[in-house]
Amino acid sequence: MSHLKYGPNRLVSPRARRHAPLFARRLVQFPLLLALATQAFAARAELYFNPRFLADDPAAVADLSSFEKGQEVPPGTYRVDIYLNNGFMTTRDVTFKAGEEDHRLAPCLTRGQLASMGVNTPAVAGMDALAADACVPLTTMIKESTSRFDVGQQRLYLTVPQAFMGNRARGYIPPELWDDGINAGLLNYNFTGNNVHNDIGGSSSYAYLNLQSGLNLGAWRLRDNTTWSYSSGGSSSSNENKWQHVNSWLERDIVPLRSRLTLGDSYTNGDVFDGINFRGAQLASDDNMLPDSQKGFAPVIHGIARGTAQVSIRQNGYEIYQSTVPPGPFTINDLYAAGNGGDLQVTIKETDGTRQVFTVPWSTVPVLQREGHSRFALTAGEYRSGNDQQEKPKFFQGTLLHGLAAGWTLYGGSQLADRYRAFNLGVGKNMGEFGAVSLDVTQANATLPDDSKHQGQSLRFLYNKSLNEIGTNIQLVGYRYSTRGYYSFADTTYSRMSGYDVETQDGVIQVKPKFTDYYNLAYSKRGKVQVSVTQQLGRTATLYLSGSHQTYWSTGKADQQLQAGLNAAVDDINWTLSYSLTKNAWQQGRDQMLAVNVNIPFSHWLRSDSKSAWRHASASYSMSHDLDGRMTNLAGLYGTLLEDNNLSYSVQTGYAGGGAGNSGGTGYTALNYRGGYGNANVGYSRSDGFKQLYYGVSGGVLAHANGVTLSQPLNDTVVLIKAPGAEKVKVENQTGVRTDWRGYAVLPYATEYRENRIALDTNTLADNVDLDDAVVSVVPTHGAIVRADFKAHVGMKLLMTLTRNGKPVPFGAMVTSASNQSGSIVADNGQVYLSGMPLAGQVQVKWGDGPDAGCVADYRLPPESQQQALSQLSAVCR
């Protein structure tokens, strides 16, 4: 028998509760009586419970002998949360049987299930001799162990002595619980476009489409990324219409090695050598398979836009991110697809065509490994770049990092190609309160495009430290020094010693070669210093600073980048002061920007319990100055609307003047909608004699065995929610995500190799729908499409009064429906609550083990009952 996790009153809608006060009161009385009775049983093993306590006629009470023996509920299968040694393990259906000695319910768990929770089953005498599907008598085989079923909380508490537990790290989830997901196909789409009009005449249009498709078969994942771009107008009389294939790859987990096999287009990790794109094969460790306590960064990009600007991010010649940002400071923290594949080039393109370009170093510090732990990567293939100036030499790369005792880590690797050979050796040390440091040296022999041969060394130093006592977090301090003859593998892939990476058109103006496109191998890299620091000031302010300085041999020129800012709050009023500086070695002058932002939520003036729509709105003011005389002042209003706050709006207006460009009014307005079937945005801006209309749609399509489901943009790992019959139900803690008309929805992201709690909001269920369980937990592998199954009972909610031979059926009798196997217990006066019932059907009643201790009742409701939240009727049991 399957039983509901939540009580009947929990499953009834608020409206139904208001219509059934007597029903609710009586069902509350019944568990109270059982609880009193159970306490009496516990006081003395042979104590007899007199059924006259519940009714004058003993025949009017079901057989409660099992409760006298300590059972709080009948044997059966229950959905429970399992806790082992006070730690949550998982949620699953567990079958409980009556114990042979004390008659208390004993869980039926196999040795495989116990092993998956961390029990060292081989250490328990006789356990390996049990059949794989046999119930383990846990408290018998391990004398000091205990088992307790908390019926009210639906929790199973197990304790096992530490001597019989495996040595596992905190947060460990056994691979047996990892879910490779279902077979399915997926498609991600992201379309953006804009139309720009110049007041002095001329207009241009631009469109961009990114398609990310994939197929999951078992543990294998096939992925493809293709883009399309279109531009017209500007200073060019021709249109550009271009498709570009970015990458394709096939991958799967190799669980015993805690690694992943990738075939096709991918990138190498940047922990030993600079990350590079390749086409070939790679077998590399994946630390995400380790528990959180054993692993450990992703770049957060800060910038300042002078006006409404288009921000694009390129990595290894490919555009991986694009969005439109309003004037002022912005932060991009959702680069989940960036990986460790090389530095990120960020371009901020203003409406008038001017650009800010800077590079965010993308190299990580975590070379340190725990004692005994190793991380490796083996790669073979050909170099791959979106730059036409670079060739595709074949290469091999291998890296290894291994943790030693006393906080030491030894690491190194090699890169081998026809015109390049490099070997790296390094050491890292966890110095406790003094932070973590690593030092390595690379010896390289390179042949350049002019066939000149060079050899040199590069010394790299990295430091990481958090000073919690003063609120300082030194995220990264790095220094690299290279001799004159040192070149990286990427340097040797160029077909010429110097040149430009030239774009032909961007949709607004014809682009000429820029300093950011220039490379010259005669000027090899010399020294580079980079730093990233955050400082907490009190409880409500944070200061951040990040920057880098790159010098070259044979020239006094250098690349410079600096981002600094102060974020603070006074009550709920937030303000930000930001500064940015960018200078390329071949650039005349430098790009600088200073900005101030203030945001004041309207809730500052509202009561905490206010229902006004203004409680989700804020006023803002921003000022930006490029330090060349150009200043922009903007005042605005932004907020969210709709029940799920999934429609956001922003309106700004102000004045721009001074420096280069026209003086006059500037403004910006935008709408963004996040729906269950996808996202959409539209906006309009005006500044410097330009007017711009931009728009975009994005979303995902998931094709599976049960049909096609539309969703918001999909991440690498997603969850398909299956709840047939439960339509338009909100997914908890998700903006705009609801089940469709078939009861399906897609949670567009999930944490791989971790337990993800998926919950449906029962307050949004229709009156004729109930759920067996509103919460499901899943543990997906990388790239998996896992299914979270919810069992919905669609039908009537009934408060049925059952009589037999003119009298109410016995108190405490079990009632089950023949149509959906849902069950409930009879309260006094023969009343029972049932959900998910058809208009006509049959229920089975049982109050003992004898042949006469049961009956069957037929019922039929009029069609108009479907409009009622709760129907009451009487039925005769025969």
pTM of this prediction?
0.75
CA-CA distance, 610 to 608, in Å (whole number)? 6
Whether 817 contacts 843, CB under 8 Å: yes
Q: Count how many Cα atoms sit within 13 Å of the Cα of residue 166 in the half-sphere of its side chain.
A: 15
pLDDT higher than threshold 80 for residue 16: no
Q: Encoding tokens for residue 1?
A: 């028998």
pLDDT higher than threshold 80 for residue 41: no
Cβ atoms < 10 Å from Cβ of 50: 9
Among 527, 500, 528, smallest CA distance to 516 is for 500
**DSSP output for 141-159:** HSTT-EEEEETTTTEEEEE
Among 635, 638, 626, 630, smallest CA distance to 578 is for 626
SS (H, E, C) 549-597: EEEECCCCCEEEEEEEEEEEEECCEEEEEEEEEEECCCCCCCEEEEEEE
The torsion of the CA quartet 146, 151, 154, 155, rounded to 10 degrees, works out to: -20
Pick 203 or 180 by higher pLDDT.
180
- The pLDDT value recorded for residue 31 is 44
Cα distance between the two ends of the chain: 22
pLDDT higher than threshold 90 for residue 566: yes
Q: Encoding tokens for residue 602?
A: 């309207």
Distance of CA 155 to the CA centre of its chain: 27
Whether 842 contacts 857, CB under 8 Å: yes
Q: What is the pLDDT of residues 437-467, one digit of tens each?
A: 899 999 999 999 999 999 999 999 988 776 6
Residue 176 CB contacts under 8 Å (≥ 6 apart), including other chains: 112, 115, 116
Identify the sign of the CA torsion 88, 94, 98, 100. negative
Bridge partners, residue 771, by sequence = 792
- When mean pLDDT is compared across 106-115, 310-319, 385-394, 594-603, the lowest value belongs to 310-319
- Residue 871, H or E segment: strand 871-876
- The pLDDT value recorded for residue 515 is 57
User: 809 by DSSP, 3-state: which?
Assistant: coil
Phi-psi region of 844 (alpha: psi -120 to 50; beta: other; left: phi over 0): beta
Whether 274 contacts 488, CB under 8 Å: yes
**DSSP output for 401-440:** EEE-GGGEEEEEEEEEETTEEEEEEEEEEE-GGG-EEEEE
- Residue 442, H or E segment: strand 436-447
For 240, counting Cβ atoms within 10 Å of its Cβ (0-12 exposed, 13-18 middle, 19+ buried), the class is middle
Q: What is the pLDDT of residues 65-75, one digit of tens each?
A: 555 555 567 77
Percent pLDDT > 90 in the chain is: 39
On average, the pLDDT of the chain sits at 82
pLDDT higher than threshold 50 for residue 9: no
Domains of the chain as residue ranges with CATH: 2-177 (3.10.20.410), 705-793 (2.60.40.2610), 794-876 (2.60.40.2070)
